[in-house]
Amino acid sequence: MFFFRSDTAFRIEEIFAGLVAMSILFGTTSMLAVTITFERKARSFERLLLAPVSTELLVFSKISGAVLFGIINSFIPVLISVLYFKSAVSNWYLLFAGIILLSIVSTLLGLSIAVSAKEVFEAQTFSNFFRFPMIFLCGLFIPIASLPIYIRPISYILPITYGVDVLKYSISRSNSISVLIDVILLIIFCVGLFYFSILNIRKKWIV
């Protein structure tokens, strides 16, 4: 879209991280919004609870597919940016680590939303309520430093912000937060969202 909108040149590094993050965010949350909601409506998840495994293991198995889908989905903008637009990547290992962490936290964010909905349209509506503001608040395309100062605190409580920051550092070292802090906060968000979803499932699904 950036390429066809204008005939003038632009630096792919400026939107590279945003494209990858948006592919992961929309892919994982959309997938869970459909699958989890259908399983809840069909009560197929309750049948799995009869198996002698913990709820944590069941949820982990459910989100693993969406995490893998998010990782694979991210390869499309990565390949286009690197092979077609000749974008440079400063640290490939950190790029892959950022993609994995962002896929996990996006999946858990989608799961925490999906378990609160009863219908697919409800899950999609709830997801859009969080996803679209994130495009503007998490530094995907607009730097957080460019946002009004009274909006910035909202950016720092959104987990996607730290995933995008890791990607920006791995691509062009244009991050605004320490990478170590990004990784630690992403892990904290992952653990928190995982157990929040577990509590919601036990409260709303198990009768």
Tens of pLDDT along 135-180? 889 988 788 888 889 898 999 999 999 999 999 999 888 888 899 9
Of 107, 142, 136, the closest CA to residue 33 belongs to 107
Is residue 7 predicted with pLDDT exceeding 70?
A: no
Tokens representing residue 39 in the block: 């399983």
Domain count, the chain: 1
**CA pair distance 21, 70, nearest whole angstrom:** 9
pLDDT > 70: percent of the chain:
89
Report in angstroms the alpha-carbon separations of 77 from 23, 51, 81, 82, 203.
Answer: 8, 40, 6, 8, 39
pLDDT band at 3 (very low <50, low <70, confident <90, very high): low
Q: Which of 38-47, 129-138, 178-187, 196-205 has the lowest mean pLDDT?
A: 38-47
Fill in the amino acid letter for 178.
S
Q: What's the whole-number mean pLDDT along residues 76-102?
A: 89
pLDDT confidence of residue 114: 78
Query: Which letter does DSSP use for residue 82 in this model?
Result: I
**CA pair distance 206, 200, nearest whole angstrom:** 9
pLDDT band at 4 (very low <50, low <70, confident <90, very high): low
**CA pair distance 123, 64, nearest whole angstrom:** 19
Most confident of 37-41, 42-46, 163-167, 201-205: 163-167
What does the mean pLDDT of the chain come to? 83
Q: What's the whole-number mean pLDDT along residues 84-112?
A: 89
Fill in the amino acid letter for 145.
A
pLDDT > 90: percent of the chain:
28
Domain limits for position 101: 2-204
